[in-house]
């Protein structure tokens, strides 16, 4: 009986599976470094335009070496969100839920939520910005379980913010003539648009200054006038 020839591709697949199962520190460290490099490339070029050759060149290797860690650009991109962004969203949700339960007024809660989100963007740069930039709801991954879970977490965070806005209206600190849903969209519009210009260490404006500016601008429009 003739044997089916073993292809280079199948050999690489076995090597990749073996390395992933082994989980050696050196392999995992290199994999994390590759994910960071890929995130930078995806943010700069966009998922559709970026290629494995672009990532390999930035990483200082060749395309074939990338296959030792990931089978395709799609798998690499998914790993960015499964391994990194999902954990960040979980952490942010836990912290946001704690803020919502604090015995403080709505403006203080809202400021803490803005601070939480902006510092998360800065501390986890560029991973969460990549999530915003690519708009996961429009990508081919939207029907996968992990993408649906990430969307659920995002919606949950948004609902916590909406709840704080509603609290502010109820307690008389936020104006009631603007729907809270519209307030939330305005707030998230400001925060999420920072993915276009806020890069840690590259500009004079950092996350802390952005937090102060956004809160000042938002609260002056949202708070009930004392006059």
Tell me how crowded residue 188 is: count the other CB atoms within 10 A of its CB.
17
| pLDDT confidence of residue 3 | 47
Distance CA 106, CA 12 (A): 55
Please state, in angstroms and rounded to a whole number, the distance separating the CA atoms of residues 168 and 65.
Answer: 54
**pLDDT for the residue numbered 25:** 85
Phi-psi region of 120 (alpha: psi -120 to 50; beta: other; left: phi over 0): alpha
- Residue 34 half-sphere exposure, CB side, CA atoms within 13 Å? 25
β-bridge partners, 223: 174
- Write down the pTM of the prediction: 0.83
Residue 109: burial class (beta carbons within 10 Å; 0-12, 13-18, 19+): buried
* Contact indicator for 129, 195 with CB cutoff of 8 Å: yes
- Considering only CA atoms, which of 99, 94, 33 is closest in space to residue 60? 33
How far is residue 138 CA from its own chain's centroid? 15
pLDDT of 200: 86
Per residue of the chain (227 residues), what is the pLDDT tens digit?
Answer: 444 444 445 555 655 565 555 567 888 899 999 999 999 999 999 999 999 999 999 999 999 999 989 999 989 998 998 889 889 999 999 999 999 999 999 999 999 999 999 999 999 999 999 988 887 555 556 667 877 888 899 999 999 999 999 999 999 999 999 999 999 999 999 999 999 899 887 767 899 999 999 999 998 876 666 55
Looking at residue 116, its pLDDT comes to 97
What pLDDT shows up at residue 2? 47
Give residue 6's pLDDT: 44
pLDDT of the residue at 149: 85
Residues with Cβ < 8 Å from 162, sequence gap 6 or more? 180, 181, 184
| Close Cβ partners of 171 (under 8 Å, ≥ 6 residues apart) | 105, 106
User: H or E element: which one contains 33?
Assistant: helix 25-45
């Amino acid at each position: 009986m003739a044997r089916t020839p073993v292809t280079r591709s199948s050999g690489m697949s076995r090597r990749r599976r073996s390395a992933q199962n082994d989980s050696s520190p050196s392999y995992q460290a290199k994999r994390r470094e590759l994910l960071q490099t890929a995130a930078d490339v995806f943010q700069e070029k966009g998922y559709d335009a970026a290629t494995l050759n672009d990532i390999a060149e930035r990483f200082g290797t060749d395309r074939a070496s990338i296959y030792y860690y990931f089978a395709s650009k799609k798998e690499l991109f998914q790993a960015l969100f499964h391994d990194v962004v999902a954990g960040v969203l979980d952490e942010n949700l836990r912290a946001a839920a704690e803020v919502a339960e604090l015995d403080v007024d709505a403006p203080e809660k809202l400021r803490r939520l803005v601070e939480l989100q902006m510092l998360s963007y800065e501390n986890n740069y560029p991973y969460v910005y990549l999530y915003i930039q690519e708009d996961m709801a429009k990508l081919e991954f939207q029907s996968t379980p992990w993408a649906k879970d990430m969307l659920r977490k995002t919606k949950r965070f948004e609902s916590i913010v909406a709840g704080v806005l509603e609290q502010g209206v109820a307690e008389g600190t936020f104006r009631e003539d603007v729907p809270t849903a519209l307030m939330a969209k305005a707030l998230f519009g400001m925060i999420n648009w920072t993915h276009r210009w806020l890069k840690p260490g590259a500009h004079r404006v950092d996350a802390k200054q952005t937090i102060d500016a956004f809160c000042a601008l938002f609260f002056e429009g949202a708070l009930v006038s004392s006059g």
